[in-house]
Structure 1
Amino acid sequence: MTAATALTNAHDRYGLLDELRGIAALVVLLFHIGTRIGAPVVAANGYLAVDFFFMLSGFVLAEAYGRRLTGEMTFAEFAMRRMARMMPIVVLGVCLGTTYALTRWYAAPSRSDDLPTILGSALLNGLLLPKWWRGSATGWEVFPINGPLWSLFFEIVINLIWATWLVARRPGTLALLAILSLVSLCLLARHHGTMDLGWSGPTLAGGMARVSFGFLTGLLIHAARDRLPVLGRGAATIAIMVTVAALALPVSDVSWVVAMTALALPAALVLAVCSGRQRIVPGARFLGTISYAVYGLHVPFLALYSGLSERLTGRSDAGFEAYLMVPVILGVAALATTFYDRPAQRILRKALDARYRQHGVEVSLARKSPANPVGARGLRHETADS
């Protein structure tokens, strides 16, 4: 029995992917507490979680949309569905980030971007577009209103490229493109001295290399899923251990980080696919459910904490007490997911379905068809990370 056959019998659910996505989102939060607030670092290479999100995205979108895009679904419908999935959290994150930026500008104008830059950045970032000029306080950061949105920008770019061209390419072509992306990524990482690329103007090419390699890797693993064996709980345990090690071990050498991206993280994804519906870490499924909100909303709250902490204590760096923000942000993310993101997505999806019904096309995210046997159950795995 292959992994694909077993998972089809289990409602096409790749259960461990939810856990890994949740763990990766938590690691990003821990990483930013260390790097943005100045607390002791506990996830040295946590930014590589973004590369893992890209890999998950390639696999998950191929599972949910691959057949449909070569049959019944148009490019426009796919693009609108992706925007419906991603934009509610984007808009909320930009609103929170803009509120913080304006408050900082009012309280400490000498340490902030000027008002036109803040408003211009908010407008562009709210449309999921990068800022292209240098800010006096934020420099060349392309999403200064809410930093993690840079990866969602590249996510949309690669999603659209996939839907228009890559979806019909053979695995050999995908592998060649993945190798070229990895070579570009290695060269750019060597040039900049880090793999943490894509969030600033000078490193945008590195962001494109990261999303290309990650997404193509996910597509390739999906293409090979029929030939993967079922390995069960042991594979799930190893997948989690490899993922955590790749993101948390305090080794910053570029060669090590590239190896984690090119070898360890793809291996973790393969093992996760082979493990099927295994559940390993208590609470990780919950983290997977709220992972997108955690990723998309945590930075404005960390910025607010940092500013208040510095004003009250006079210290620019925080201690371990900063990690008390973790349960706060998880709680906020859970509330946002339940009472804002899911209702907003339902509204947008109903509007989208109504639009297509007006054009005489019966489409629904919840229905099943020969081209989409997983229906809404499979679409639950869509990720922006995410």
Structure 2
Amino acid sequence: MSKGIRMTTAPQRQSRYAFLDELRGLAALIVLLFHVGTRTGAPAIAANGYLAVDFFFMLSGFVLAEAYGSKLGADMTFREFARRRLARMMPIVVLGVCLGTAYALLRWIAAPARSDSLSGILASTALNTLLLPKWWHGSATGWEAFPINGPLWSLFFEMVINFVWAGWLVARHKGTLVLLTLASMVVLAAMAGNAGTMDLGWEVPSLLGGLARVTFGFLFGLVVHAFREHLPVLGKPAALAAGIMLVAALVIPLHAVSWTIAMTLVVLPAALLLAVCAGRQHLIPGAPFLGAISYAVYGLHVPFLALYSGMAERFTGRSEAGFEAYLMVFLILAVAALATTFYDRPAQRILRRTLDQGSRAARRGSLPRDALS
């Protein structure tokens, strides 16, 4: 999920598209509400919240191009970019896998007949920690690619498209990006129409669909960034329209594949375009805070919801929760805020420093002998 990407350029640029942070925080909250409904059986209030992932992919393309586009090929190598992305993404990935593994083991102990085997859980943990999908059918998790922590499927594709961009797409001309975006749009629409759903990528049989989703979303973000200087500054009206369009796409309870295709290929891209035109606007109370913790919210919330659902069913005998399940939102937001401040940011600094030191040591080791004298 881009949902973990922060602008790291100079302060004036960092605030230039401040409204994007607000929409990212809003989208992360809606994903959380969506999974409260799907993971606990509570009444749904964000019917198509899973489409927020496509918006995250679009944000990722725009924000990465803004933060690193001019540096790659100039004073930043592909390896340095890869190290920065790994340092940014992996702390939350690892913590999410730890939480998910703890839940999976508790479930295996409490209800082994309704769980994957112990060997399957441990193998899934090993792969998911490396941000790699499991490829076999689990007795309880089926074909789920990241059963230890479901949202990792989108982070896997995020990492893939990040590296493809840094290694190849970053040097492409604007016209090439437009053509690739249009082609990926056609492919994604065809794949979603054939599958009867836009909810692709989280299962092994639909991994190609996930690749189509991230390709279109990321490319569209790159195209918007490429033409950003030609876009008008529309201020608050654009911000208001973008917020309404984002919420409508994720919340309106229509599930027909034609509707979700339209939301993904038309409405969400329009929301991003308007958000860029909104510039520095601040519109949504609390959204900057949600934007700051959005990556932790996205990467950590599912294990907590799974644990809540399992405990609620065990102690109440009900397989479906009521609206009280949405109280978990406040706990998860608090955990995400603490994790962002006291774990994620310090871990990023340590990991970045460690990777940089390893890179410098490797370069010294590869120097000719006379260069060391």
TM-score with structure 1 setting the length = 0.89
| Residue 83 of structure 1 pairs with residue 90 of structure 2 | no
The match for 1:30 is 33
The match for 1:258 is 261
Task: Within 5 Å, give how 1:155-174 maps onto structure 2.
Answer: 155-174=158-177
Q: Give 1:353 deviation, angstroms.
A: 4.0
RMSD: 1.4
Counterpart CA distance in 2 for 1:12 and 1:329 is 27
The farther-off stretch of 87-96 and 8-17 is 8-17
Counterpart CA distance in 2 for 1:269 and 1:190 is 24
Which one of the candidate residues 311, 329, 332 is aligned to 2:332?
Answer: 329
The match for 1:379 is none
Q: Give 1:295 deviation, angstroms.
A: 0.1
Which one of the candidate residues 303, 312, 320 is aligned to 2:323?
Answer: 320
Which one of the candidate residues 118, 121, 137 is aligned to 1:134?
Answer: 137
- Whether the 8 Å contact between 2:72 and 2:78 is mirrored in structure 1 is yes
Counterpart CA distance in 2 for 1:356 and 1:203 is 36
Counterpart CA distance in 1 for 2:111 and 2:10 is 57
TM-score with structure 2 setting the length = 0.92
Counterpart CA distance in 1 for 2:190 and 2:14 is 38
Corresponding pairs, count: 354
The match for 1:41 is 44
| Residue 206 of structure 1 pairs with residue 209 of structure 2 | yes
Q: Give 1:350 deviation, angstroms.
A: 2.4
Counterpart CA distance in 2 for 1:118 and 1:11 is 44
| Residue 276 of structure 1 pairs with residue 279 of structure 2 | yes
Q: Give 1:10 deviation, angstroms.
A: 4.0
The match for 2:108 is 105
From the superposition, tell whether residues 351 and 339 of structure 1 become closer, same or farther in structure 2 (CA, over 3 Å): same
| Residue 294 of structure 1 pairs with residue 297 of structure 2 | yes
Which one of the candidate residues 212, 226, 245 is aligned to 2:248?
Answer: 245
Q: Which amino acid aligns with 1:266?
A: P
Counterpart CA distance in 1 for 2:277 and 2:258 is 28
Counterpart CA distance in 2 for 1:133 and 1:17 is 38
Q: Give 1:72 deviation, angstroms.
A: 1.5
Counterpart CA distance in 2 for 1:15 and 1:353 is 30
Q: Give 1:36 deviation, angstroms.
A: 1.3
Q: Give 1:160 deviation, angstroms.
A: 0.7
Q: Which amino acid aligns with 2:245?
A: V
Q: Which amino acid aligns with 2:38?
A: T
Q: Which amino acid aligns with 2:185?
A: L
The match for 1:70 is 73
Which one of the candidate residues 288, 299, 308 is aligned to 1:285?
Answer: 288
Q: Give 1:9 deviation, angstroms.
A: 9.4
- Whether the 8 Å contact between 2:128 and 2:148 is mirrored in structure 1 is yes
Q: 5+ residue gaps in structure 2? A: 1-8, 365-373
The match for 2:369 is none
Q: Give 1:352 deviation, angstroms.
A: 3.6
Q: Which amino acid aligns with 1:74?
A: T
Match of 2:70, SS state, is: helix
Counterpart CA distance in 1 for 2:10 and 2:292 is 22
Match of 1:280, SS state, is: coil
Which one of the candidate residues 185, 193, 202 is aligned to 2:188?
Answer: 185
Q: Give 1:23 deviation, angstroms.
A: 0.5
Task: Within 5 Å, give how 1:109-128 maps onto structure 2.
Answer: 109-128=112-131
